[in-house]
Amino acid sequence: MSAPTLPFPQSLAEKYRPRTIAEFVGLEKPKRILGRFAAQPYPSAWLFVGPSGVGKTSMAQALCIQIRGELHHIPSQKCTVEAIEKACHDCHYLPFAPGGFHVVLCDEADRMTPAAQLALLSKLDATAFPPNTVFIFTCNSTDGLARPSAACERLAEQRPRCTDETRSRATGRLRPLCVYC
């Protein structure tokens, strides 16, 4: 007689985590913008800024699913030059689903090393941008970023208020998106 098997318990956070952009509660402006992007994705870089627990990483994962992306997740404090080079190499040479994209998700980008930030800036600003790739950076604050306006094309902020400093830093190719402004 074999012992009964029980399914591994799943955390409530994982069980009820939104799987699509439309399943998120609130955040109407980011949902609208990301929904439009998901309908017609293109190679780009995004910066999700907000306090812990508002769903930045979950939103990035939902976006990845909706654009049929192949996720390359670089966890918090693991974003080194080597990790960036590996992710970009994989995006250049590994196949993805037809019509899909590679999605490089860098959690807590404000905590990455200065060398890693420079490596990313060179990938995003130059001709080394991997084909059919969407970069998504999450951070709690833009204070630790070298040049946030050069790193991303769009900013989806998930926090109650934008400061004048955040707005003034969001220039150039970066278009700010404030949820409650």
At 105 the pLDDT is 96
Distances (CA, A) of 84 to 78, 117, 140: 10, 9, 20
pLDDT in tens, 22-57: 888 888 888 999 999 999 999 999 999 988 888 899
Domains of the chain and any CATH numbers: 42-177 (3.40.50.300)
Question: For the chain, what is the mean pLDDT?
Answer: 78
How far is Cα 51 from Cα 57, in angstroms, rounded to an integer?
11
Question: How many Cβ atoms sit within 10 Å of the Cβ of residue 113?
Answer: 12
Q: Model's pTM, two decimal places?
A: 0.76
